[in-house]
Amino acid sequence: MWLDEKLVMKNCTIVLWATLALFSGSSFAAQEKIPVYRGQNQSLIEWDQIDADRWLDFEAWKKARDLKDQYPNWETKVRERGHRALMGRVLDCVGDCRIYKGVDFIRAGFRNTVHQGDELVTEEGSYLWVYLLDGTLVRLSPDTSVTMKELNIGEQENLLHARLNAGNVLWLSRSEHKHVEKNIRETDALFLPLIYHQANPIKQEQKKLNEDNLFAVFEEDQTHLRQTQRLNSLIEENNKWVKGRPTYSFLVMPNGTVWGETVQAEFVVLLGGESFFKQRSLEDQKLTGDSDPPVLSFFFRGFENKDELYIKPSQWYKVEQRGRNFSEYDAPTLFGMSEFVTSRIPTIRVARELLLRRYSTFIYEDLSSAELAKEHGHRKWGTLESKTDDLARRLAFLMEHTRRTETSLLLTSSRFKQRVLEEKGQTLESMEYSARFFRKALAHYQRKKEVEQLYDLSGERLNSTKNPYWKIINARRTLRSP
């Protein structure tokens, strides 16, 4: 009896160690060949989720072993699938902005990290700017939700994938075009001054009284013009090392998908209702240049509907609830008010160029797959040009999978609504577009003149000119008061 127990214990020990070796990659020679992403553990074992019975089940181990023998690179695949790469960082938040990581969330603040799979949510009266590593800026209005799916760094281009769940979203991929230089105040005043102090405008120095030219005191402040000139200088410098590498965005709405290069568009996604979107032209963004932005594509919903339509710039489009019809739309005044709030944002764009230098230079360097994984936590993909490369195959999968999945979700939600109506006599109201998406931001723009008195240098010397920290704290408190 004693020998039998000893033999059983010996066999259990062998199985345990074999399982450890297989799941954690204990072969040191093998580990050196497998890329470990930055911030990732060597071991693949999820210790907090282990089920003791299954862990010591020999039959389960044998099946897993047979499956792994069929795929020699299984460990690399597991690492990539479980890894959540960094996609970007929060630039600024006004109000209650949240980053959901699974079931838990954190309050969004300056430089908070955004990883693949994170959901960004703004509550009522809250606004959020996010910087993505490729240089894309994303702005969320109140009552808005966006899920950041993936950032794939390719050999010649980058691929962004996100789901616009609901609300009002502005998606601005980085453009190499410069901005028209005019001394006009900014429209998204709600975020000024930014917590990212280096990006804020440099105020004009106090003018000294000159008896020979008394009217000089009343000359117009050129702060806004100098900020735009600074932005153009930063764009010119960064364009030298960005090397024209474009970003393609795959943006999924419940009832349609927008895809294309250098996406610069505004979206209004009404949960349970229609969706609207508009590609902004160079003129809309106050950019220099004669050529139109790259053509964007729209894809419908439907299990067999693979039709692709092209989008004209400066035109609003409406997508009906089921995602089967798509038409040009004469936008109401409310849409125009929302567009105006983000029409002139040089300070936000200056912050983008500064963050591009600080966090994103590696994307535009010719790094090997091992260097990109070990030092920056990203996988290196191929190209979109070759249909056999993994990046092109990934895009093809996303198009097919998204269309089928989102169509199923639309059908399920439609049947649920119908059942609620028939069985309980209740209706589920769809989301509606209203001034709540821009009311607070527009009010702060209208109050801008009052706020600028804090920086008035033509008269009495104020605390804001003596102490830069006083300027940051008190100006920000005034701007963000309800």
Q: What confidence tier does 272 reach under pLDDT thresholds 50, 70, 90?
A: confident
480 pLDDT exceeds 70? no
Say what the pLDDT of residue 30 is. 39
Q: Are residues 333 and 392 in the same domain?
A: yes
Domain boundary among 386, 401, 416: 401
Q: Which token pair is 51?
A: 């089920």
Domain CATH for 284: 2.60.120.1440
Question: Concatenated DSSP letters for 453-465?
Answer: GGG--SSS--HHH
Asked, for residue 74, whether it belongs to a domain, the answer is: yes
Q: Which token pair is 83?
A: 């890894």
Domain range for residue 73? 2-81
Asked, for residue 371, whether it belongs to a domain, the answer is: yes
List the Cα angle 153/73/157 in 5-degree steps: 10
77 pLDDT exceeds 90? no
Q: Are residues 364 and 267 in the same domain?
A: yes
Q: Are residues 179 and 114 in the same domain?
A: yes
39 pLDDT exceeds 90? no
Say what the pLDDT of residue 377 is. 87
Say what the pLDDT of residue 71 is. 74
Asked, for residue 386, whether it belongs to a domain, the answer is: yes
Please give the single-letter amino acid code of residue 268: V
Asked, for residue 142, whether it belongs to a domain, the answer is: yes
328 pLDDT exceeds 80? yes
Q: Are residues 31 and 139 in the same domain?
A: no
Q: Are residues 91 and 65 in the same domain?
A: no
Distance CA 55, CA 45 (A): 11
Asked, for residue 418, whether it belongs to a domain, the answer is: no
Mean pLDDT of 330-341: 90
Q: Are residues 153 and 263 in the same domain?
A: yes
Domain boundary among 344, 370, 401: 401
Asked, for residue 443, whether it belongs to a domain, the answer is: no
* Choice among 199-213, 305-319, 365-379, 402-416 with the minimum mean pLDDT: 199-213
180 pLDDT exceeds 70? yes
Q: Are residues 48 and 127 in the same domain?
A: no
Domain boundary among 61, 81, 101: 81
11 pLDDT exceeds 90? no
22 pLDDT exceeds 50? no
Q: Are residues 271 and 367 in the same domain?
A: yes
- Among residues 203, 146, 262, the alpha carbon closest in space to that of 465 is found at 203
Q: What confidence tier does 79 reach under pLDDT thresholds 50, 70, 90?
A: low
126 pLDDT exceeds 50? yes
What lies within 8 Å, CB to CB, of 139 at 6+ separation is 127, 128, 129, 130, 169, 170, 172, 342
Q: Are residues 284 and 377 in the same domain?
A: yes
Q: Are residues 175 and 151 in the same domain?
A: yes
Say what the pLDDT of residue 260 is. 96
Asked, for residue 207, whether it belongs to a domain, the answer is: no
Q: Are residues 23 and 106 in the same domain?
A: no
Count of domains for the chain: 2
Mean pLDDT of 161-173: 97
135 pLDDT exceeds 70? yes
Asked, for residue 431, whether it belongs to a domain, the answer is: no
Average pLDDT of the chain, as a whole number: 83
Q: Are residues 76 and 53 in the same domain?
A: yes
Question: Concatenated DSSP letters for 171-211?
Answer: EE---S--B-------S-GGGPSPSSGGGS--PPPPPPP-T
Mean pLDDT of 397-418: 90
